[in-house]
Chains A and B, each alone.
Chain A
Amino acid sequence: MSAITSRKLTMAKAIAEAISLEMERDPRVFVMGEDVGVYGGIFGATAGLYEKFGPERVIDTPISEAGFIGAALGAAMEGMRPIVELMFVDFFGVAMDQIYNHIAKNTYFSGGNIRVPLVLMTAVGGGYNDAGQHSQCLWGTFAHLPGLKVVVPSTPYDAKGLMISAIRDDNPVIYMFHKGLLGLGWMTLIKDSTGPVPEEPYTIPFGKAEVKREGKDVSIISVAMGVYQALEAAKELEKEGISVEVLDLRTLVPLDREAIINTVKKTHRVLVVDEDYLSYGMSGEVAATVVEHAFDYLEAPVKRLAVPDVPIPYSRPLEQFVLPSSSKIVNAVKELLRS
């Protein structure tokens, strides 16, 4: 851990700074994607890089995701360290073959002889009425495929450290930033989307979850926006004498199963909050981990709060109905304590 810092950055700026530092350090690092140049990335994750490093290392691409994501793989296999932006994770479909049949598998096919040091960074999350092709999280989809590391930061501090780790990793990393946590002026602001970030480079290891709040009655396990909603709910529940522990997984691959088991051993009750779809996803994986390794410690069945297997709807009341929220978490925790 680095020295205490008072400088605060938004998550978007923390990401851009991480990339900038790594580009200074390592000439093999470059960025490509749609609108990553002059525009600075639709979500600001590449702001200032074009001015600093120029069009040869910060490359605006045509709208050809299969082409440029496949090209990132080719460049990575020949010794470059590309960071490629997929504007919204929802657009993965047009490039999925390059991602899951190649980026995720070439290392394995080569018996470990091929390195794919590539970061695919992408925006996730809803809550602002952008409907079903612009609001998904889909981390479960990527985590399901062997061969991809999956990173989902929740704070500016983590965002910077995890990005630097991602760039230095010799494996493909899917780096997912939540639109609502970037500190963008045009989204509903979450206070903690601006937070302390040291100026120097630092790394955060993958596979290390963080206990964001200690508690003894219930554990809430989540990532990204779910962590904030859980922390908010924990404050509410505290008023009623319920002590909540909040665990931020930070990376889904590798998954810190030990941290999951430890928190269950401590509180004996688990709620998983997942902005991704309910079935076949993160919440199921966490629940399975608990059941397989800490079943005897459970005092109630694992509870899951996730998108109920429908596409994200557009209209505000519909979208609010399917997305997790702190008030839904409060209710779920109370149910969990009753059972």
Chain B
Amino acid sequence: MNIPKETLMRMYLEMVTIRLYEETMAEAYQEGKYPVFNIASGPVPGEMHLAAGQEPVAVGVCMHLKKEDAVVGTHRPHHFAIAKGVDLKRMTAEIFGKVTGLGRGKGGHMHLFDPDVHFSCSGIVGASIPQAVGAALAFKMRKEKRVAVAFFGDGAANQGTFHEGLNLAAIWKLPVVFVCEDNSWAISVPKEKSTAISQNADRAVAYGIPGVYVGENDVLAVYEAAGEAIERARQGGGPTIIEVKTDRFFGHFQGDPEVYRPKDEVQRLKQNDPIKRFRKYLIENDIATENELKQLDDEARKRVEEAFLFARESPYPAPEEALLHVFVE
């Protein structure tokens, strides 16, 4: 695969931005929750699902997408949103519940909507799949060369929406790509206890569509698989399911006691940190210098810091705003 340096550098920048974003969010989330962890306290209350470790899936796929392509994400949405180019300041403000947020504070972390880049997500497991199918249906009906991507977890592949969605996309030959993040867990339930076969990609057979399993948490491997699928979809070749083995570095949500997880698992997974590996790859193959990568690290840090600053400094919505926007005017 011959990938231009510029693309590789952007992949690195996006992955580092996501990682920094999630780590910064983890800290912000802890504020006001110490010494007593109360989910309702601090500047960022409510549930918080972070995606550190899962950067390759989001970035490897979204690198191929255009602004007008649609992405539907999950309850763990930040990495998808960042990779799709969602306005980072307004996204962060939303998570802080501020009036400058994407949804003026109404949706929060699991409900990020940025129509400018055709991004949406949901807290309901499996909900993304038919919605991406519908976006693809719209594109096909209007003969537009746009593609829709549904991201979802290994846990979501056991929802009816997965099977119904794949079948619809297949019979209508829609420009949609289904991307399953196999992080081995759905909260405390391991994939092997919830899923009858080891790879959801093999379920493609049931719907007569191509299925690809990317067995390593590697941005280049994802990029390659996604490139083929997205191009096929764009050219009218119909849907594909891609499943990627990836790793969840944090708990299911922040504050998860993780009693179900082997004690050393996260340590072990971190040895195989996909960003560190990609960094090493870029240097060892003389694609980038330490200095160039350092610049990207700084750029990512700046983006994240600016976004959090914007969020913190923004005002809360007026309470009565709660009554607005049930319907459009």
> Which A residues are within 8 Å of any B CB, using their own CB?
34-35, 37-39, 42, 60-67, 90-91, 93-94, 127-134, 185-188, 308-311, 313-322
Contact = CB atoms under 8 A, between A and B. Distances in A.
B107 A42 contact: no
Nearest to B326: A310
Given A37-B188, A188-B40, 4 more contacts: A62-B195, A129-B108, A308-B323, A319-B322
A321 B323 CA distance: 9
A131 B107 contact: yes
Interface of B: 36-40, 45-47, 94, 97-98, 101, 103, 105-111, 122-126, 155-156, 158-161, 186-189, 193-195, 255, 259-260, 316-323, 326
B51 to A, nearest CB: 18
Q: Is the interface of B mostly helix, strand, loop or mixed?
A: loop
B120 to A, nearest CB: 13
Contact of B110 (A38, A128, A131, A320): A131
A187 B46 contact: no
Contacts of A37: 188-189
Given A63-B186, A321-B322, A314 B105 contact: yes
A35 B257 CA distance: 13
B46 A314 contact: yes
A129 B188 contact: no
A157 to B, nearest CB: 25
B152 to A, nearest CB: 10
Contact of A38 (B47, B101, B188): B188
Interface centre among A91, A131, A314 (most CB of B within 10 A): A314
26 contacts: A37-B189, A62-B158, A62-B189, A66-B160, A67-B160, A90-B124, A94-B124, A94-B126, A127-B40, A128-B40, A129-B39, A129-B45, A130-B47, A131-B110, A133-B110, A188-B38, A310-B323, A313-B322, A314-B106, A315-B316, A316-B45, A316-B316, A317-B317, A318-B106, A319-B322, A320-B319
Q: Is the interface of A mostly helix, strand, loop or mixed?
A: loop
A-B interface, 7 closest residue pairs, ranked by CB to CB distance from nearest: A314-B108, A315-B97, A315-B105, A129-B45, A321-B319, A62-B194, A128-B40
A34 B189 contact: yes
Contacts of A308: 322-323
B322 A318 contact: yes
Nearest to A128: B40
B122 A133 contact: yes
A124 to B, nearest CB: 16
A322 B189 contact: no
Given A131-B108, A318-B106, A186 B38 contact: yes
A45 to B, nearest CB: 15
Contact of B47 (A61, A94, A134): A134
Contacts of A322: 322
Nearest to B318: A317
A130 B46 contact: yes
A319 B160 CA distance: 32
Contacts of A134: 46-47, 110, 123
A67 B126 CA distance: 14
A132 B122 CA distance: 10
A129 B189 contact: no
Contacts of B94: 314
Contacts of A93: 124
B97 A314 contact: yes
Contacts of A311: 106, 326
B326 A309 contact: yes
B260 A318 contact: no
B255 to A, nearest CB: 6
Contact of A60 (B98, B101, B189): B189
A64 B199 CA distance: 17
A314 B156 CA distance: 24
A63 B46 contact: no
Nearest to B315: A317
Nearest to B186: A63
A91 B319 contact: no
A42 B255 CA distance: 12
Contacts of B319: 317-318, 320-321
Given A63-B186, A94-B161, A314-B111, A128 B39 contact: yes
A132 to B, nearest CB: 7
A128 B40 CA distance: 4
A313 B106 contact: yes
Contacts of A130: 39, 46-47, 108
A313 B125 CA distance: 20
A131 B160 contact: no
B188 A316 contact: no
A64 B164 CA distance: 13
Nearest to B106: A313
A38 B260 contact: yes
A128 B194 contact: no
